[in-house]
Structure 1
Amino acid sequence: MTMTAPLPHTETVARALDGATWVSPHEPEIAPAGKRPAHLLRTTFTWESVDAPVTLAATAHGIYEAFVNGVRVGDEELAPGFTEYRAQLEVSRHDITSLMRPGTNTVAFLLSDGWYRGRHGFERRADGWGDRTALLAAVTQQGADAPLAATGPAWESRPSHVVRADLMDGQAVDMRQLDPAWFLGGGEGFAPVAPVARGDAGTARLVPPSAPPVRRIEELAPTAVTRPRAGTVVLDLGQNINGWMRLTDLGPAGTRLVLTHGETLDADGVVTTEHLRAFQFSTGTLLDAGQVDEVISAGRAGDVFEPRHTTHGFRYVQIDGVPAILDLSGARGIVVHSDLARTGEFACSDPQLDHLHEVVRWSMRGNVCAVPTDCPQRERSGFTGDWQVFVATGALLADVELFSRRWLRDLAADQWDDGRVPTVVPNPAGPKPSGIAFEDMSAGSAGWGDAAALVPWELWRAYGDAEALAEHLPTAVRWVRYAAASAAGGRHPDRVASRPEPQAHETFLWDTGFHFGEWLEPGVPPHPDPTVDHGIVGTAFLHRSAHLTAVMAAFVGDDDAAAECRRIADGALAAWRAEYLCTDGTLTEETQAHYARALAFGLVPEDLRAATAARLAELVAQADWHLGTGFLATGLLLQALADHGQVHAAFRLLTSTGHPSWLGMLDAGATTMWEWWDGVDADGRARGSLNHYSKGAVASFLHTHVAGLRLPDEPAPGQEGYRRVVVQPIPGPTLTSASSVLETRQGRIAVAWTIEDGTFRLEVDLPDGVEAQVLLPDGALSEVRGGAHTFACAAGR
């Protein structure tokens, strides 16, 4: 087994690749996108065994697997990951000493399109970063003056047995074409590699790995196997995942198996992907859902099909072409995602809430594959709004700091000159318009572009890294300036018609341009329209991002930026209140989402908050205790109620069933969070993605309110990163226990409470030096520091 060696400095990258030049496969004719093969690139060299380690360093335009003398190197998948290739491209380094042998050695790479030139995004366009894949690699020995092998014109290539490889469409393998001699220096059909244009040869963007890589994390055996028709087998993993299938029995030579991956079955018991089909925005033409793998058997004992050059979002796999004699008992679902350490655990006396927590965790696992994606099947893109909504919850479930920082560097690289942020990061167009009307129109949407400010803020709260805060602050400031300039630059036509003369506060009223708005509220069909007035959303986010960017700027000592953003935040707050807040605490536009955002963002003056929260509770009651929020406000709703005197409404909403509700999803069979609240109807018909984690932000409420372990809303200097916590459990009316355990930068923090015989008992365990403010349900307040502490009071219901 090989180990990944750390690359602590960028200079080390250059040394590890000394002598290497970029090379591309010999590809005189390029196949259509989605149908391109993986190519094998290799070289053979001699080595005399000496007592010094040998290292392989590599990166690619595309994704690669490396082999030394026929043995796969390392345990990383989809290397070098998804990134803004023009700005940062990670180079992995592996100790391969144990794989070397005296004399002749062969290093070989399987190279496929990956994200670099494969089909990508909602419209599945190809060649986003270039139209040729390429490889840069070197084998070096410690103390040697020159590399043992380095990519260059002496390398050779040929198409491999992977006859089709695309992250969206799937992978096809013809085992009959595989010659094991390829990986040992033999075989036929090779041609010299192609040189790469000088423009791709720069080294400044080559960086060490900065976040955990993608790996195979877990194997799942099918929970059910059905045969809906002759030659067809459907495997149910019992869990929606991101990954692929591994088959160890491929049948007699010539057997062709076709694997279709999906999230649901149709009435005939076969996989359907109709609900996952996207379309072209300009024409409305439906696109194939993809996620189809194929393997043709060579009849060799020991052959295994495991498509490492694609991934799929699926619970079910339909295998067609299965001969009667084929044994599929060894089939396994392979869970694949970024190898993020699990850091948070929640448990309570209600099994449904425990189940909800794990469903959210699974949905996150399906969407942390190199970058935070929106879904692992239909577009699997780094939608900014989704991670903005979920990052604080993600930090309660796993260590997402380095993963998020890596993505924020992509966001900074893709930020336009005027400060706006594209909807998707990494963005094929880079920091400029793409020429695609909808993409260019939607760049800079409130709630999506605000990831530039709100993600660094949540990382600061959870991890407290001042260096990271300083690194990401300029991106946040540029976003706030863009949003403020957009607000000042125009008035919505409807407002102009009703009030020809602008009022002073309208300088900070962001009511023009395209915004997604709340997005996918129940009963509100999605209709992206730049003429809609989303000022109540845009202005709220302008205040929130400007306010928190001012706080961050003050932390790092940038007083000018702090003052500038504070002025914008104050102006946006005044504008929002002038336009949308009535004197009785109600809003001029009444939805659950607007009320939740108003309370969570501090938009309502303190003397009106109780009335505003009461009105929010009324709206929830009028909806028969069901949710009325979409992407942006769902994660804010329960805390907005509970923090403002509406605990009963919060818990009744949390535990409601039917649609729209969290537990309604679970009752309908969800194993991950759905894009639509009614993602599966009463007849079992699906629509939209069944693995979209944004609505799973509710899991934070389980930790912070049900169990009661939370960070200060705005930590003072020295309180960030769990140096100070607030322990304030809010027991639900039917709960008798709850606990939260977090592994933080300060150490393990545990909070657990029980109710027994009329007594509420709370146990708090803190690392040395960590301060906690403890507030019991009866109002008793304590300050403690480090160690184990026990508290008790009468249990009130």
Structure 2
Amino acid sequence: MAIVTKLRCEYLENPIGLDNPHPRISWQIQSGIRSWLQSAFQIQVSPSPDFSSLLWDSGKVQSNESTHIALTELDVEASRRYYYHIRVWDKQELASAWSEIAFWETGLLEPGNWQAQWISAPLQSFPVESGQSPLLRRIFSVNAPVRSARIYVTALGLYELNLNGIRVGEDYFTPGWTNYNKRLQYQTYDVTALLSNGSNAIGAALGNGWFKGNLAWEDKKNIYGERTALLLELHVTYEDGSGDVIVSDNGWRAAKSPVLLSEIYHGETYDARLEKQGWSTAAYDDSQWEQVEVLEHTKAILIAQENEPVRKIGELQPIALLTTPAGETVIDMGQNMVGWVRFTMNGAEGQEVSLQHAEVLDQEGNFYTENLRNAKQAIHYILNGQGSETYEPHFTFQGFRYVKLTGFSEPVRLEDFTGVVLHSDMEVTGDFQCSDPLINQLQHNILWGQKGNFLDVPTDCPQRDERLGWTGDAQMFIRTSAHLMNVAPFFGKWLKDLASDQLENGGVPFVIPNVLGDEAHSSAAWGDAAVICPWVIYQCYGDKRILEQQYESMKAWVDYMHRQGEQEFLWNTGFHFGDWLGLDSKPGSYIGATDRDLIATAFFAYSTSLFVKTAAVLEKKEDIAFYSNLHDEILKAFKHEFITPSGRLSVPTQTAQVLALMFGLVEGKAKERAEKKLLELMDESKHHLTTGFVGTPYLNLVLSQIGSKDAAYKLLFQTDYPSWLYQVTKGATTIWEHWDGIKEDGSFWSKDMNSFNHYAYGAIGDWLYRCVAGIDTDEAAPGYKHILIKPQPGEGLTWAKATLQTLHGLVASEWRHREDSTMELHVTIPPNTTASILLPEAVEEGILENGKDIALSDGIHSMSHIDSGAALEIGSGDYVFTFSVPVPVQAG
């Protein structure tokens, strides 16, 4: 019998604080029966976990859908829990048992439901230029048994919350980074267990964060405002059904904290002598504290948390204690990581210690920080001298592998230091492994690049004075990121930020949230994140709502491009980053040799084509007609401008050929010549790339698509500069910004722009999953409803395997060469999905499944033979295919 499992509401397990009035429900099926398909489902919603009464019952709905089922007919109320369970029917009309019970809980739903006031520490004690963090607190009473208690809270700046001396929640850098003038998230916490009968105390510490702290490289501060502030409501419901609401108002009090300075880039200074023990408990005497000030600030911008919050995800122990040639004491974490160091020490009152963070050591083995530019990445701690002291920062994070210690008493013990890894708490969904250890390290580096840069927004780098949501980097890497983790809520939130920051004319800022100013917008391939990212999320998760949500933003970007060129269907004006950091750049330039007009027009065509597909999904008939015609005209203009009469691309670079082929801009003879030219260029470079940010993500994909997987494999396996594995052989544990961030002689490419944790080139992971392992989704049945398993084994690997936890369940593909000229392909297809399988190069006779003739196997719906192997259509289940492959002809 089928079992309904992994119930999710808006991708989340039992979420609280949702503001969506019609949330969507998803589930998975467990069944040992092959080709299991759902024919119907039923969802019931109840106010109680025993389902003694029902608020809503879908009845039996004839549908095979099991993801994103919107509860459109259910009317929800604010601050209320809703329980739901599900049962399903199979094709034989056999019903499953009811699932386990899950729930979601609404937040305040509307800004008008807020009762609290914005409060801030008094200006006379905390002037605008002050870096010191304030503490805010108040006492309240609980005089009856409590059924439940929820805190709804946000801040201008960052906040940490305590209740009766205990930290509230596991979230960090709340309320997250948005365009605070238009969108400000609030969080919801269940604090029922933290309340006690009688007097209670709630306390909050505030930090500058992204709201008013230093951002970007021009020393900009106070971008969104000049004063940090808190907005909080505690809703207490008693067992008798009555309740209280405790709010932030002028009854709160404020004092200075031990955090003297806290900045995202520069780190934190903490004076433990200023600690106020028990400051967030009811027994603490706050008579010397000052009254807070009430601020006038809008609540209309408030929205519930949309993405997963930043949390502590793991811990690393240092692997070595070094004394550098310069005499510096340095600990090596063994991994370029993002987060902070927690340390313990004993010392005298007033003793100051510092930790400075860096990614690499220099050519001589000394601590190197020049590539951080103006970011200090330093922690300063002043001891209180009261025994063993343990510290970790509050409102800052660092990107680092190495930590220089100053002021610590000898001997330094590695066990006193722990690296705390922080990033947005996304579910890890994918894994890739193969027979080559260097490729496995590359996969490791890609994953850690995502960990380090998916901290509330998709940043370019986590260490220097930047850490911004560059749109180009995000769109280049998004498909890879969706293999590794469930990034749908993460990008759903960020794309709303993009739409909110989008210019009235449709232009898209270079970074989201936009902190670079009104003129920093609308480069080709960067602004195209407005279209590419929603489409990728739709493809990977079958999430139609993100297309609905972003539709006007997508349309506005295409219209913006349409208005830009000197000719209507070419984009040949404005500033563009081009093929950023392309290796064919002119000396002294960051911009590759590929004509920027070609790149801009290519992306104009590509985004327009994706928008046409989006309009088709949403059944926007007028837009389908108009933008289909627009796309046709762009193709004509591209052909006229960039293809010679003999059918050759006029721009002879790797990136030009790649974009033309990837985006379908050439056909017939021109396509053949572009394919031939790309392979010639690969030969000329001795199977090395010359591409930059624009061309690299598509290079291997295109080589595979044109039937040149051998060229793609040769490219992958290069270990000298420039290549992915060059970085690995140089000891990289994340992806570098530059192919030669560290040169052969150990010197550095540049101090101005040389991040060693910069995920864009990690987009090769997409090819590893979709081509090497062969896991993909059918564009016509997105979200892995219909799965494609089409591995492309190549020279250099004897086996490869990948797994992907989709919304429907686990998908797996593992191929392995055997010594007898046969191959094995292990495949897992989850219930309620189907799949198309390619057995690569399989000869017609002797195909076995689980040791028996394939014709006798359940779950195989059809099989045919094509030039590239055997093509199968199968249902759900676990399969082991064994098949013969042609024996390579030996030379001579």
TM-score (norm 1): 0.90
Cα distance change, pair 392–15 in 1 and its aligned pair in 2 (3 A): closer
1:358-437 matches, cutoff 5 A: 358-378=444-464, 379-428=466-515, 434=517
Give the deviation of 1:5 after TM superposition.
5.9
| Partner Cα separation in structure 2 for residue 180 and residue 327 of structure 1 | 28
1:466-485 matches, cutoff 5 A: 466-485=544-563
| Partner Cα separation in structure 2 for residue 590 and residue 31 of structure 1 | 59
| Partner Cα separation in structure 2 for residue 637 and residue 531 of structure 1 | 16
Which residue identity lines up with residue 631 of structure 1 in the other structure?
F
Give the deviation of 1:581 after TM superposition.
2.3
Q: Which moved further from structure 2: 524-533 or 607-616?
A: 524-533
1:24 equivalent in alignment to 2:120: yes
1:346-361 matches, cutoff 5 A: 346-361=432-447
| Partner Cα separation in structure 2 for residue 575 and residue 86 of structure 1 | 41
Give the deviation of 1:610 after TM superposition.
3.6
Give the deviation of 1:527 after TM superposition.
4.5
| Partner Cα separation in structure 2 for residue 392 and residue 336 of structure 1 | 22
1:103-159 Cα distance to aligned partner (Å, 9 max, x none): 221100010001111111233411111111111012221257664521111111122
**1:588 counterpart SS class:** coil
Give the deviation of 1:268 after TM superposition.
5.4
Aligned to 1:519: 580
Give the deviation of 1:335 after TM superposition.
0.5
1:86 equivalent in alignment to 2:187: no
Give the deviation of 1:642 after TM superposition.
1.3
Cα distance change, pair 674–529 in 1 and its aligned pair in 2 (3 A): closer
1:600-749 matches, cutoff 5 A: 600-686=662-748, 687=750, 688-712=754-778, 715-716=779-780, 719-749=781-811
**Higher helix content, 1 or 2:** 1
Aligned to 1:141: 236
Which residue identity lines up with residue 251 of structure 2 in the other structure?
A
Give the deviation of 1:51 after TM superposition.
3.4
| Partner Cα separation in structure 2 for residue 358 and residue 329 of structure 1 | 25
1:593 equivalent in alignment to 2:652: no
Contact 2:730 2:742 in 1 (8 A): yes
1:2-151 matches, cutoff 5 A: 6-9=16-19, 11-12=78-79, 13-14=107-108, 18-28=114-124, 36-142=131-237, 147-151=244-248
1:463 equivalent in alignment to 2:541: yes
1:667-702 Cα distance to aligned partner (Å, 9 max, x none): 111111111110111233333111110000001111
| Partner Cα separation in structure 1 for residue 496 and residue 490 of structure 2 | 10
Which residue identity lines up with residue 89 of structure 1 in the other structure?
L
1:221 equivalent in alignment to 2:231: no
Give the deviation of 1:46 after TM superposition.
1.6
Cα distance change, pair 147–604 in 1 and its aligned pair in 2 (3 A): same
Contact 2:580 2:590 in 1 (8 A): no
Give the deviation of 1:97 after TM superposition.
2.3
| Partner Cα separation in structure 2 for residue 167 and residue 617 of structure 1 | 45
Contact 1:515 1:530 in 2 (8 A): no
| Partner Cα separation in structure 1 for residue 325 and residue 438 of structure 2 | 36
Give the deviation of 1:258 after TM superposition.
1.2
| Partner Cα separation in structure 1 for residue 593 and residue 697 of structure 2 | 27
1:519-598 matches, cutoff 5 A: 519-524=580-585, 527=589, 534-582=596-644, 585-598=647-660
1:165 equivalent in alignment to 2:226: no
| Partner Cα separation in structure 2 for residue 352 and residue 236 of structure 1 | 22
Give the deviation of 1:102 after TM superposition.
2.1
Which residue identity lines up with residue 195 of structure 2 in the other structure?
M
Give the deviation of 1:602 after TM superposition.
1.1
Cα distance change, pair 229–753 in 1 and its aligned pair in 2 (3 A): closer
Which of 260, 278, 301 is residue 181 of structure 1 equivalent to? 278
**1:329 counterpart SS class:** helix
| Structure 2: 5+ residue stretches without partners | 1-12, 21-77, 80-106, 842-867
1:761 equivalent in alignment to 2:827: no
Cα distance change, pair 722–124 in 1 and its aligned pair in 2 (3 A): farther
Contact 1:609 1:644 in 2 (8 A): no
Which residue identity lines up with residue 776 of structure 1 in the other structure?
L
Which of 306, 309, 318 is residue 210 of structure 1 equivalent to? 306
Give the deviation of 1:555 after TM superposition.
0.5
1:10-53 Cα distance to aligned partner (Å, 9 max, x none): 654448974310011123266686x6111101111122241321
1:524-546 Cα distance to aligned partner (Å, 9 max, x none): 25757999961100000000000
1:627-675 Cα distance to aligned partner (Å, 9 max, x none): 1111112110001111102222111001011111000011111111111
Give the deviation of 1:742 after TM superposition.
0.5
| Partner Cα separation in structure 2 for residue 293 and residue 526 of structure 1 | 36
| Partner Cα separation in structure 1 for residue 607 and residue 588 of structure 2 | 25
Which residue identity lines up with residue 513 of structure 1 in the other structure?
G
Give the deviation of 1:167 after TM superposition.
0.7
**1:240 counterpart SS class:** strand
| Partner Cα separation in structure 2 for residue 386 and residue 768 of structure 1 | 35
| Partner Cα separation in structure 2 for residue 343 and residue 406 of structure 1 | 19
1:717-769 Cα distance to aligned partner (Å, 9 max, x none): xx111111222111111211111111111111111111112112212221123
Contact 1:755 1:795 in 2 (8 A): no
1:543-586 Cα distance to aligned partner (Å, 9 max, x none): 00000011001111111222222222222222212221235553
| Partner Cα separation in structure 1 for residue 202 and residue 287 of structure 2 | 16
Cα distance change, pair 648–36 in 1 and its aligned pair in 2 (3 A): same
Aligned to 2:94: none
Aligned to 2:88: none
Aligned to 2:61: none
Cα distance change, pair 531–36 in 1 and its aligned pair in 2 (3 A): farther
Aligned to 1:196: 295
1:307 equivalent in alignment to 2:393: yes
Q: CA RMSD in A?
A: 2.3
Which residue identity lines up with residue 248 of structure 2 in the other structure?
T
Give the deviation of 1:275 after TM superposition.
1.6
| Partner Cα separation in structure 1 for residue 14 and residue 161 of structure 2 | 13
Cα distance change, pair 526–603 in 1 and its aligned pair in 2 (3 A): farther
1:313-348 Cα distance to aligned partner (Å, 9 max, x none): 111111111222554522011110000111011111
| Partner Cα separation in structure 2 for residue 625 and residue 532 of structure 1 | 19
TM-score (norm 2): 0.81
Give the deviation of 1:794 after TM superposition.
2.9
Cα distance change, pair 449–354 in 1 and its aligned pair in 2 (3 A): same
**Higher strand content, 1 or 2:** 2
Give the deviation of 1:777 after TM superposition.
2.3
Which residue identity lines up with residue 494 of structure 2 in the other structure?
W
| Partner Cα separation in structure 2 for residue 631 and residue 46 of structure 1 | 58
| Partner Cα separation in structure 2 for residue 700 and residue 620 of structure 1 | 20
How many residues align? The count is: 751
| Partner Cα separation in structure 1 for residue 361 and residue 713 of structure 2 | 33
Contact 1:250 1:326 in 2 (8 A): no
Contact 1:5 1:93 in 2 (8 A): no
Q: Identity of paired residues, percent?
A: 35
| Partner Cα separation in structure 1 for residue 479 and residue 596 of structure 2 | 25
Give the deviation of 1:223 after TM superposition.
0.9
| Partner Cα separation in structure 2 for residue 721 and residue 62 of structure 1 | 37
Contact 1:592 1:628 in 2 (8 A): yes
Cα distance change, pair 698–532 in 1 and its aligned pair in 2 (3 A): closer
Q: Which moved further from structure 2: 577-586 or 168-177?
A: 577-586
Aligned to 1:782: 872
**2:825 counterpart SS class:** strand
Give the deviation of 1:352 after TM superposition.
1.3
Aligned to 2:836: 773
| Partner Cα separation in structure 1 for residue 125 and residue 237 of structure 2 | 40
